[in-house]
Structure 1
Amino acid sequence: MTEAISADRQLSALRDLAGRELSQGILPFWEAHAFAPDGTLRGGVSDDLDYLDDLPRHAVLAARILWTFSASAQALPEQRERHLATARRALDLLTGPMWDTQHGGVYWSLAADGVVLDDRKQVYAQAFTVYGLSAWARATGDEDALDRALWLAGVLDATARDLEYGGYVEALARDWSPTARLALSELDPDVPKSMNTNLHVLEGLTELLRASADLTVRESLETLLRTTLECIVREAPFAHCALYFDETWEPSSDGVSYGHDIETSWLLWDAWEALAAHGVEDADLEWRAREASLALAEAVRHEGVDPDGAVLYAGTHAGPTDRDRHWWPQAEGVVGWLNAFQLGGRAEDRRAAIRAWDFIETHVKDHRNGEWFARLDASNRPLTGGTGDLKMGPWKCPYHNARACLEVLRRIES
């Protein structure tokens, strides 16, 4: 386990700010606004705190809420029961109306009236369900939830895992058979594999290994970590993750997602630490995970950060193409550069982490209505008008920013 960082004045201030934002900002916002009085998940919440209950309900959002409040219950024992109560609401949705009782797994989405809207088995959603169920099991000792997570991981291995070329395909039909409907969103192409889906399978398996110590899970995680290092992380023209692939891992674009790259940088090392804690001894794999983590963190510092400290949204090998500031890359920047500082001791990474939090405090936090703005333009003005610009929506959740706060608390000594 990587040693915690000794706290100086700046790092102590960062830790205090993150702890306060988590317990007084993010978690209370979601407790107050995520669920209707009858316990159902709301469709969306605008920046002005209007409820948009005509929007679909997505399993990914429920799974991320489950993970957030389960992890917070573990980290904040004085608030444990309060956070478990919110996690239980999300658990009941995932294992109730969002769960396919005939074939298992979660549907992609429900309509506002609870009717199944999209029944495909998007691997991304199943991975987050494994992630949330595993965190709940770790927090509560719930064996039924752990068994469900293990079953779901096993189904993914049996149906979505590519045993020839490695990794996991994007989507399956409701009955776990192949499907031509692969794209994760309207912005994503119909390709067999993506870094985004495989990254979150990696994340889910990491959490499940910690919850279960299961040897089959360990093998799946170790194999996927190797595949990620060999096929997804690219060295030229700078360290980055290719985004979309054919079956053989041939990239189909030169796009760069700076937020995903800095997130990957620390999740690679997190996966290795879970493997090492559960008996895997492989000096070469450890070295490769460490070097990739450091290279990705350094590349995002050089290629994907604006002069004001914001992590930019997207680019190509030639440079940034979308200078919007989405909320989640800022959160992942804090964690990714703290992790890099722990691994390599580079002062530039320490400064980048502190600067990323400063940007969040100044521009991303909504100091009037709470939580964080989903997206800012290049002049740091909040954007509105789309479902991606809501305080809560299909993609806007408490997982990235709450997790960043939890990781700051974990990584910096009190």
Structure 2
Amino acid sequence: MTRFLAAALIAGHLCSSAVAVFSASAVLAPVVSAGGAAASVSTSLWPQRWSAHLDRDVLPFWLAENERTPSPDNPDAEMRSRFLSLQLRSLYVLAAAISRETDPDARRHLRSLLARRQTSVVARFRDARAGDWFSTESAAADARDGDTTPPVPKTTADQAWAMLLLADIHTLAGVPDALRLARETFARVDPLAHDDLYGGYFVEYDSSPPDAPGRASRTGRIRDHESSRKHASTQLHMLLALARLLRSDPQDSLVRTRLEELFALVPRFVSPDTGHVRWALGRDWQPAAFARPVNNRTLYGQNAEAISYLLDAADALGRPPADILPVLESIAGGLIRDGISDDGAVYYTGPMTGPADDRRVWWWPQIETAAALWRLHRLTGRDAWLAGFEQVSAWAFARLVPPENPGRWHTLCTADGQPLPHTAAAHEIQTGFHVVRSLLVIGKN
């Protein structure tokens, strides 16, 4: 960030730039043909363009007080303040800004802001009795008032998000207390949510005391076929959380064991026929039919996340990427074939066989796919992945980044790039997290 930006932060006058970072001609830069000669990574200008966009537009927008940024200082931030995941993602963006800020005064200001907001999040969402987290502020309030009868099961994916985001906050900004909270969360959640019979983690778990009335029947209800499914999002985010924790302490034998287990199991989500990642498997990690239709489909943004998260897990375990490369390239091939338009739009969902049938374009599959394809190109040097990365990047910048306020990003578009109306719901408020995370990944790799 520039000294001007640092000064604006401290003065409290930070606003988003209304000037687009790149000209239209740069956005629509020629795409390397997947069938051409092997291309050098250095032929792509998109990593530098995305880095400039991150510093000039994205971080300034998300550090400002506006309708999307969750802040306990904003009394009107009802939706923003209700959900643990949104608050933690806001802290992540602050930590990312600290990692890129060069002005000492601005860094001190951002650190003070991060410390104050982290304290607020802990006070509002941490379950001090159980040692884990409430997903919503209302659940926390009910528990403190003694109104939760019976106790509401907790969502494992939310605990995974807490672990990985807190660990990332420490990595980015050097916040030991965030790492401590991440490790304490794992210590509490693993004995309750881990499936000791088949491996992996249940979607939900009961954190009430073992002798609590009705615990056995509640546990039975959340272990039926549908509820005991191996949910791809839960397993993938636990995989990433464990990778982050192992990087922070390579000697933690339990974390390593759990990560090794998931690293071996997660590829079972990938169809050997199409390369698509199933939304869910049965408890035994075998394909199964589910009553809820979405559990029988694939989510293209999640396919991209699977590529990135498996690479992160391999790195944390000290495994060569070649160990997992065939699976990753199978996922990427299916993603490009069925989930991405000819001009680079990443669709939302589709069947396990055949092309996408929900062709809405959400911001997060678009940018997560760009990051995954860039990583694959860096790893393999293959033109196909470079071409995909450049197409997806060009589509994102031309259609998801509004010229009048480029840090904001549209949440949702039609397949031809027309913004769709969307309220200030959870999707709107977390736009910054996926954009910041993915642009950091592109810049790093």
Judge same fold: TM > 0.5, yes or no: yes
1:224 aligned residue: 262
Pick closer, same or farther for the CA change 1:371–1:182 going to 2, 3 Å: farther
What is the CA-CA distance between 1:26 and the residue it aligns to?
1.8
Match of residue 84 from structure 1: 111
2:129 to 96, 99, 102: 102
Q: Kindly tell me: are residues 390 and 196 of structure 1, through their superposed partners in 2, closer, same or farther at Cα, counting changes over 3 Å?
A: closer
What secondary structure does 2:416 align onto? coil
- The secondary structure found in structure 1 opposite 2:356 is strand
Aligned to 2:434: 400
Residues 137 and 254 of structure 1: CA distance in aligned 2, closer, same or farther (over 3 Å) = same
- Kindly indicate whether the alpha-carbon contact (under 8 Å) linking 1:60 and 1:128 is maintained by their aligned counterparts in 2: yes
Question: Alpha-carbon deviations, 1:362-399, whole Å to 9, x = none?
Answer: 1001222341111112232212244558631xxx3422
Asked if 1:66 corresponds to 2:98, the answer is no
1:149 is displaced (CA, Å) by: 1.3
After superposition, the CA RMSD in angstroms is 3.1
**Mapped contact 2:131–2:184 kept (Cα < 8 A):** no
Deviation at 1:321, TM superposition (A): 1.3
Matches within 5 A, 1:5-404: 8=42, 10-11=43-44, 13-33=45-65, 39-40=71-72, 53=78, 57-78=82-103, 80-111=107-138, 115-116=141-142, 120-175=153-208, 179=219, 190-213=227-250, 214-229=252-267, 231-236=268-273, 238-251=274-287, 252=289, 253-276=295-318, 286-316=321-351, 317-369=353-405, 370-386=407-423, 388=425, 391-392=428-429, 396-404=430-438
Q: CA deviation at 1:101?
A: 1.5
What TM-score results when the alignment is normalised by the length of structure 1? 0.82
Q: Secondary structure at the match of 2:379?
A: helix
CA spacing shift, 1:175–1:398, aligned 2, 3 Å: farther
Q: Secondary structure at the match of 2:125?
A: coil
State the AA in 1 paired with 2:127. Answer: D
Structure 1 residue 250, shift from structure 2 partner: 3.1
SS at match of 2:54: helix
Q: CA offsets, 1:313-347, max 9 Å, x none?
A: 00001321100000001111111111111222210
1:346 to 1:27, Cα distance in 2 relative to 1, 3 A: same
Q: CA deviation at 1:181?
A: 7.7
Q: Does the 8 Å CA contact 1:71/1:135 hold for their aligned counterparts?
A: no
The AA in structure 2 aligned to 1:135 is D
Preserved contact between residue 192 and residue 206 of structure 2 (Cα < 8 Å): no
Decide which structure has the larger Cα Rg and report it.
2
Asked if 2 retains the 8 angstrom alpha-carbon contact of 1:258 and 1:300, the reply is: yes
SS across alignment from 1:398: helix
Q: 1:241: how far off?
A: 1.1
Alpha-carbon distance in structure 2 between the residues aligned to 1:80 and 1:219: 37
Report the more deviating stretch, 60-69 or 194-203: 60-69
Q: CA deviation at 1:159?
A: 0.9
* 1:243–1:255 CA contact under 8 A, matched in 2: yes
Number of the residue aligned with 1:186? none
Contact 1:233 1:239 in 2 (8 A): yes
Deviation at 1:7, TM superposition (A): 5.3
Confirm or deny: 8 A CA contact 2:63 2:69 kept in the other structure. Answer: no
Tell me the amino acid that sits aligned with residue 336 of structure 2: R
Q: Residues 83 and 135 of structure 2 are in contact (CA less than 8 Å); yes or no, is this contact kept in structure 1? A: yes
SS, match of residue 241 in structure 1: coil
Displacement, 1:308? 2.3
Q: Is the 2:68–2:80 Cα contact (8 Å) retained in structure 1?
A: no
AA aligned to 1:93 is: S
TM-score for both structures, normalised by structure 2: 0.77
**Partner deviation per Cα, 1:29-68 (whole Å, 9 max, x = no partner):** 221136999951769xxxxxxx662676111112222233
Structure 2 unaligned runs (5+)? 1-38, 210-214, 290-294
Give the letter for the 1:391 counterpart: E
CA distance in 2, matches of 1:367, 1:129: 33
- 1:278-337, Cα deviation, whole Å (9 max, x unpaired): xxx6x7xx5442221122112211111012210100000132110000000111111111
- Secondary structure at the counterpart of residue 331 of structure 1: helix
Over the matched positions of the two proteins, sequence identity in percent amounts to 23
211-220 vs 341-350, which moves further: 211-220
